[in-house]
Every structure is written in structure tokens, then in C-alpha cells.
């Protein structure tokens, strides 16, 4: 998924219905969508966002700070 993909504007968190942020693929870390409000990360598998509530995983405080850094432009 690319940062300028129009699909990103309409994707929403299945829990709070708010916007999600793309976490680009980096060394050792796969591409994902992140909801910083709930601190939940949703994987993107083969280019398809997995947006079922059960697909999201809660992240720790330390990981949350790291993900906020990845989101920064």
C-alpha cells in the first residue's frame, strides 16, 4: 500500500471508526495500519488490510512511542 493511496482516506478503525495511519514496511517490520488513539495495530497481508477487531493487536507504551516516530513525516 502506498502513502498516497486514496483507499487510506476511507479506511477506518473497526472499533472507534477513526482514521488509521499507514506504517510503511521497514527492515524487520511489516506494513501495517495504526490507530494511535487506541494503540492498536492492524496488519496488511499481501496488500490487504486486515481490519477485523480480532485482527488488531494492542501495543505496549514503548512500541507506541516507536510507532509514533514511524508515522512522523
Question: What confidence tier does 73 reach under pLDDT thresholds 50, 70, 90?
Answer: low
pLDDT reported for residue 39: 97
Domain ranges (residues) in the chain: 4-69
pTM of the model: 0.87
More reliable by pLDDT, 38 or 6? 38
pLDDT reported for residue 72: 64
- Considering the four listed CATH numbers 3.30.450.20, 2.20.25.10, 3.30.70.20, 2.40.37.20, the one that applies to the domain covering 4-69 is 2.20.25.10
Write out pLDDT tens, residues 12-67.
999 999 999 999 887 667 899 999 999 999 999 998 999 999 999 999 999 999 99
If phi over 0 gives left and psi between -120 and 50 gives alpha, with beta otherwise, what is residue 29?
A: beta
Amino acid at each position: 500500500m502506498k502513502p498516497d493511496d486514496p483507499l487510506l482516506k476511507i479506511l477506518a478503525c473497526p472499533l472507534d471508526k477513526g482514521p488509521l495511519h499507514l506504517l510503511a514496511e521497514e527492515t524487520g517490520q511489516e506494513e501495517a495500519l495504526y490507530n494511535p488513539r487506541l494503540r492498536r495495530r492492524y496488519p496488511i497481508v499481501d496488500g490487504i488490510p486486515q481490519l477485523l477487531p480480532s485482527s488488531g493487536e494492542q501495543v505496549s507504551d514503548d512500541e507506541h512511542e516507536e510507532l509514533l516516530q514511524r508515522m512522523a513525516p
